[in-house]
């Protein structure tokens, strides 16, 4: 029996509800599907959920597939839609998180500002900031002292928002190195001012 006949027989058995033929397709496509999902979701658990959902849909919709030649295209089209839906859901959660964080920023900013106004911390922070490159100094001052968002800093300095994010992350690391005894405060500052 040639390979095409074997594939067609396997497909016919699967289409008629044979669980063993379904298991063979599962074994054949699970690894590539998981790699595909993980490449975009960057989360092992979400990728596994996406692939499990894919195979549930495959079983439920087995009657809609015309031939074994179209099965892999069908699988990856369905998986692409599942991954896109999960990415949209992640984006929605992120936006809600940002909204909640923004509403609490006023309260947190007052608390952080009060901490930073203490003489010793302010002096050490000033010295540490002066050790940064001029661009990082501007970003730091706009973010910490003026409370600018990443977008506002990008607009003010005429640079991309990604540049602001990267440089802000780098400057926090540099400040943490120079102010080791205040690292907890800097970490809290970094977490709470990401916007």
Same domain, 77 and 130: no
- Alpha-carbon distance of 184 to 188, in angstroms, equals 6
Same domain, 86 and 124: no
Same domain, 67 and 141: no
The per-residue pLDDT for 118 is 61
Same domain, 17 and 83: yes
| Tens digits of pLDDT across the chain (195 residues) | 555 556 778 888 888 888 898 899 899 999 999 999 999 888 899 999 999 999 899 888 888 877 766 778 888 889 999 999 888 888 777 777 777 666 666 555 666 666 655 666 667 777 888 888 999 889 888 887 888 888 999 999 999 989 988 888 888 888 777 776 665 565 556 555 555
Contact predicate 116/125, CB 8 Å: yes
59 domain residue, yes or no:
yes
Same domain, 77 and 16: yes
Angle at 143 between CA 137 and CA 146, to 5 degrees: 105
106 domain residue, yes or no:
no
Same domain, 78 and 130: no
The per-residue pLDDT for 169 is 85
Same domain, 63 and 14: yes
The per-residue pLDDT for 103 is 65
CA distances in angstroms from 3 to 7, 72, 132, listed in the order given: 6, 16, 65
162 domain residue, yes or no:
yes
The SS3 assignment for 134 reads: helix
CA distances in angstroms from 80 to 67, 159, 186, listed in the order given: 20, 33, 40
What's the number of domains the chain is made of? 2
- Identify the sign of the CA torsion 130, 135, 136, 138: positive
Same domain, 80 and 127: no
**What's the CATH number where 170 sits?**
1.10.10.10
Same domain, 130 and 71: no
Question: What residue numbers bound the domain in which 187 lies?
Answer: 118-192
Same domain, 183 and 138: yes
- Alpha-carbon distance of 112 to 105, in angstroms, equals 10
């Amino acid at each position: 029996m040639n390979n095409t006949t074997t594939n067609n027989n396997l497909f016919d058995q699967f289409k008629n509800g044979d669980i063993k033929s379904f298991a063979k397709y599962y074994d054949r496509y699970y690894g590539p599907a998981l790699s595909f999902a993980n490449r975009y979701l960057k989360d092992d658990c979400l990728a596994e959920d996406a692939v499990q959902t894919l195979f549930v849909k495959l079983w439920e919709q087995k009657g809609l597939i015309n031939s074994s030649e179209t099965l892999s295209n069908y699988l990856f089209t369905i998986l692409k839609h599942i991954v896109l839906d999960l990415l949209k859901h992640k984006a929605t959660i992120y936006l809600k998180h940002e909204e909640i964080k923004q509403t609490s920023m006023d309260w947190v900013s007052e608390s952080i500002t009060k901490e930073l106004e203490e003489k010793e911390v302010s002096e050490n922070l000033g010295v540490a900031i002066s050790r940064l490159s001029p661009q990082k100094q501007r970003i730091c001052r706009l973010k910490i002292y003026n409370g600018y968002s990443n977008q506002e800093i990008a607009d003010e300095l005429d640079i991309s928002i990604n540049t602001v994010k990267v440089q802000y992350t780098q400057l926090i690391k540099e400040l943490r190195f120079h102010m080791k005894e205040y690292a907890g405060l800097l970490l809290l500052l970094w977490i709470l001012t990401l916007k």
